[in-house]
Amino acid sequence: VSAPSTNACPTPRGGHAPARLRASGPSPSHDHVLRFAGFGVLPASQRRGVGQALVEGALTLARERGARKVTLAVLGHNGAARRLYERCGFHVEGVLRAEYVLEGADVDDVLMARWID
């Protein structure tokens, strides 16, 4: 994977990128793993295929970089994002219970992964 951090986004629409993704490889000992972080799609671009296109493009980048596994974390209450990742082949590997407190409520962090073919 070798690059510590990579930013990727689809072609901007109207001068603004509708989504963003930061990917990084944490250390040489698991250089075969690429972690997706900072993933987001602007509300106006949600449910239009932008997120899926971004994930699929990032998976292509991961393959090109030699990654064998891609990981990410998603807030437990974000069902739409979890379904997107599952459609893209990710599965749950673990849950960090009450990792965040948002608006006074405990929120889990769901750890997901996908092996690259």
Give tens-digit pLDDT for 17-41. 565 656 655 577 777 888 888 788 8
Number of neighbouring beta carbons within 10 Å of residue 68:
15
The predicted structure's pLDDT at residue 106: 98
Summarize pLDDT for 58-78 with one digit per residue, the tens: 899 889 988 999 999 999 999
Domains and CATH numbers, the chain: 6-115 (3.40.630.30)
pTM of the model: 0.78
The 8-class DSSP code of residue 88 comes to T
Q: Are 73 and 34 in contact (CB under 8 A)?
A: no
CB 110, CB 82: distance < 8 Å:
yes
